[in-house]
C-alpha cells in the first residue's frame, strides 16, 4: 500500500560526498516526519537525521555539520546530503516515514514505514 525506496548509496572516498534520496509512493494521505537511520554491522540502528512536515530538522551528534536533510512535499521525497564522509559513516541507511493513509475501510491511520535500505561505504 505504501512503499519507501532509497537510492543514491555507493562507495565513496573519505572526505567525499553522497546524496541519498527516498521516495514514498502509494495511498498516501499525508506524511508527517521523515527520517534517516543507519545501521552498521554489530551496532544498533541510530538516528541520522529527521525532518518534520514543517521543515524542522534534527541530527544525530555524529553527523551534525556534515549532513543535511531536506524534503519535497510535492514529490513525497526526502533527501540526505552527506558531506565530509568518514569511514565511520559506513552503514546501511534506511528511510523512515510516518505516513497517514486510508485503510481498506477508508479510515485514516498513521503508520511508520521503512525502506529496504541503501549501502553507503566510505573507504579508500
Per-residue pLDDT tens for 27-44? 899 999 999 999 999 999
Cβ-count burial 80-100 (b if 16+ within 10 Å, e if not): bbbeebeeebbbbbbbbbbbe
pLDDT band (50, 70, 90) for residue 97 = very high
Asked if 113 and 100 count as a contact pair (C-beta separation under 8 A), the reply is no
Asked if 95 and 76 count as a contact pair (C-beta separation under 8 A), the reply is no
* Cα–Cα dist 14/109, whole Å: 42
Tell me what pLDDT residue 2 has. Answer: 93
Asked if 26 and 2 count as a contact pair (C-beta separation under 8 A), the reply is yes
Tell me what pLDDT residue 118 has. Answer: 98
- β-strand 118-122 against 10-12: which pairing, if any? parallel
pLDDT band (50, 70, 90) for residue 106 = confident
Burial class (CB in 10 A: 0-12, 13-18, 19+), 18: buried
Tell me what pLDDT residue 23 has. Answer: 97
Mean pLDDT taken over the chain: 96
| Interval 41-60 mean pLDDT | 96
Amino acid at each position: 500500500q505504501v512503499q519507501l525506496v532509497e537510492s543514491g548509496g555507493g562507495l565513496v572516498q573519505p572526505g567525499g560526498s553522497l546524496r541519498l534520496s527516498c521516495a514514498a509512493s502509494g495511498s498516501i494521505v499525508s506524511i508527517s516526519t521523515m527520517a534517516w537511520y543507519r545501521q552498521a554491522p554489530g551496532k544498533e540502528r541510530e538516528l541520522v537525521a529527521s525532518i518534520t512536515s514543517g521543515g524542522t530538522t534534527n541530527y544525530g551528534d555524529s553527523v551534525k555539520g556534515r549532513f543535511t536533510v531536506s524534503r519535497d512535499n510535492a514529490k513525497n521525497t526526502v533527501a540526505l546530503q552527506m558531506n565530509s564522509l568518514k569511514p565511520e559513516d559506513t552503514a546501511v541507511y534506511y528511510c523512515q516515514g510516518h505516513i497517514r493513509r486510508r485503510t481498506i475501510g477508508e479510515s485514516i491511520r498513521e503508520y511508520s514505514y521503512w525502506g529496504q535500505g541503501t549501502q553507503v561505504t566510505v573507504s579508500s
